[in-house]
Amino acid sequence: MDLTFSAEERAFEQEVRDFIAGSLTPEMKRATALTPSVFSDPDIGMAWQRALHKKGWGAPGWPVEHGGPDWTPAQRWIFEAECARAGVPNVNVMGVKMVGPVIIGFGSPEQQNFYLPRILSGEDYWCQGYSEPGSGSDLASLKTRAVRDGDDYIINGTKIWTTHAHHANRMFALVRTNDGERQQDGISFILIDMKTPGITTRPILTIGGDHEVNQVFFDDVRVPVANRVGEEGKGWTYGKYLLEFERGSGIASAKLREALKTISDLAGSDVTGRAIEDPDIAIRMSEAEVDIDALEMTELRVLSALQTGQNPGAVSSLIKLRVSEIRQAVTRLGVDVIGQDGLAVEPARPFYRLNHEPAIPEELLPVVPEYLNGRAYTIFGGSSEIQRDIIAKMVLGL
């Protein structure tokens, strides 16, 4: 047992660092630091995607025949850790990490040939049409309906909490094509061009004041049957595959460590009156750091199991819960670090392109919105309550 990387892996680490040093512009870095969200604005995120794609790293998790870099789990770890450390923008995860793997796993060769290169290159920007009003945690109860009409489906209904729908040119959605005996049985997985007539989006401002999510309405929207992925009525299976794929692919500890470091640097600076001298802050930083250490070890245990071809087992399902809790603790710490400057609300966006001087120092701007928006970590993607239900049932066998 040991924690050190091999000489080859160290060399790869250096390659990643060199790549980042050569590709990450100061503007990208500043924009990422000043974005109070896990989603970068597309102009920033897609610029980074193009840089990655040029290097052949556009989709680290994909098989090599579809343009993946063929990395070992350790290489993926190193890549993600270095990206986190450098503060690179977030790419369009709905494309690279969500719909991409589904198309690879279940799409037709035509779909693969058409969509995958456009994800890699950053030409397409995807959003995810899953939740509906009334169907959040209870996703299988979704009501948006796709009725067959010749070679098309006609879609009616509405999706909600659709991240970046206002930026996306494509959506992958779960729609009801049939009233199966089980709710899950009548759901299909479909790819929708956002420019299709009948689609409208309504912005929903988050509690932090950001326009990130939307409600999307479908009013007799005509989508070719050829845009369905896999079999009709099997969409639930593909959707679940996606969630599992997603779960194994993230390495959260490196990003959390970086977020904590940002807060820690603020706490050590005059801009917060040296908040670090408050023992409550100092101790809570250590608590958060130790929590991240524990998470990192758990992630490394998963990585090590993957590396040696084993199934990491149930432990991966505990990770989402801890990640969301630690994230919230770190953003909360941020609020306490900046103290009364947190009273100032800056409504304009993005923070990295304000056309006026903000009331408080620029680096303090994202702190409160990050905390506020971060309340969603324990809600979106399956609330913490649902996660605990799942752990009790699937991990503990209760």
Partner 1 sequence: MDLTLSDEQRLLRESADRFVAETFDPEHRKKAANDPLGYSPAIWKQFAELGWLALPISEAHGGLGGGAIEIGLLMEAFGRGLVSEPFLSTVVIGAALVAECGTEAQKQATLPKIAEGALTLAFAHSERAARFDLGYVDTTAGKTADGWRLNGSKIAVLDGAAADQIIVSARIANANGASGKQGLFLVPAGTPGLTLRDYARLGGGRGCNLDLKDVQLPADALLGDGTDALPAIETVVDRAMAALGAEAVGIMQTLLDTTLEYTKIRKQFGRPLSANQVIRHRLADVAMQVDEARSMALRAALMANAEPGARGRAASGAKAKIGKCARFVAEQAVQLHGAMGVTEELDIGAYFKRLLAFDTLFGNSAHHYRRHAALSGRAHA
Q: Which residues are catalytic, by number?
A: 246
Q: Which stretch binds partner 1 (CB under 8 A): 45-53, 85-93, 122-130, 369-377?
A: 369-377
For residue 227, the 8-state DSSP code is: G
At 148, which helix (H) or strand (E)?
strand 145-149
At residue 348, the 3 state secondary structure works out as coil
* Contacting residue, 70, 207, 219, 244, with partner 1 by CB under 8 A: 207
Bridge partners of 146, per DSSP, are 155
The residue with tokens 């399902």 is 317
Q: Which stretch binds partner 1 (CB under 8 A): 45-53, 92-100, 145-153, 303-311?
A: 303-311
- CB of 24 or CB of 271, closer to partner 1: 271
Q: State the nearest-atom distance from the C-beta of 298 to partner 1, in Å.
A: 5
Report the alpha-carbon distance of residue 235 to residue 210 in Å, rounded.
Answer: 31
Determine, following the binding rule CB under 8 A, whether residue 28 of this chain makes contact with partner 1: no
Site for partner 1 in 263-302 (CB under 8 A): 270-283, 285-287, 289-291, 293-298, 300-301
* Contacting residue, 146, 255, 373, 382, with partner 1 by CB under 8 A: 373
Site for partner 1 in 101-140 (CB under 8 A): 131, 134, 136-138
Report the alpha-carbon distance of residue 315 to residue 129 in Å, rounded.
Answer: 28
Q: State the nearest-atom distance from the C-beta of 7 to partner 1, in Å.
A: 12
* Contacting residue, 33, 34, 38, 204, with partner 1 by CB under 8 A: 204
- CB of 30 or CB of 301, closer to partner 1: 301
Cβ neighbors of 352 (< 8 A, separation 6 or more) are: 27, 30, 31, 34, 35
Q: State the nearest-atom distance from the C-beta of 320 to partner 1, in Å.
A: 11
At residue 187, the 3 state secondary structure works out as strand
Site string for partner 1, 63-92 (x = CB under 8 A): -----------x--x---------------
Q: State the nearest-atom distance from the C-beta of 213 to partner 1, in Å.
A: 8
- CB of 120 or CB of 263, closer to partner 1: 263
Cα–chain-centroid distance for residue 214? 16
Q: Are 218 and 156 in contact (CB under 8 A)?
A: yes
Report the alpha-carbon distance of residue 69 to residue 54 in Å, rounded.
Answer: 12
Q: Are 92 and 23 in contact (CB under 8 A)?
A: no
Q: State the nearest-atom distance from the C-beta of 256 to partner 1, in Å.
A: 14
Determine, following the binding rule CB under 8 A, whether residue 375 of this chain makes contact with partner 1: yes
Report the alpha-carbon distance of residue 398 to residue 390 in Å, rounded.
Answer: 10
Determine, following the binding rule CB under 8 A, whether residue 11 of this chain makes contact with partner 1: no
Determine, following the binding rule CB under 8 A, whether residue 7 of this chain makes contact with partner 1: no
Phi, psi of 311 (to 5 degrees): -85, 120
Determine, following the binding rule CB under 8 A, whether residue 232 of this chain makes contact with partner 1: no
Phi, psi of 149 (to 5 degrees): -145, 90
Integer CA distances (angstroms), 23 to 16, 27, 39, 47, 52, in order:
10, 11, 19, 10, 9
Site for partner 1 in 142-171 (CB under 8 A): 160-161
Q: State the nearest-atom distance from the C-beta of 325 to partner 1, in Å.
A: 9
Determine, following the binding rule CB under 8 A, whether residue 363 of this chain makes contact with partner 1: no
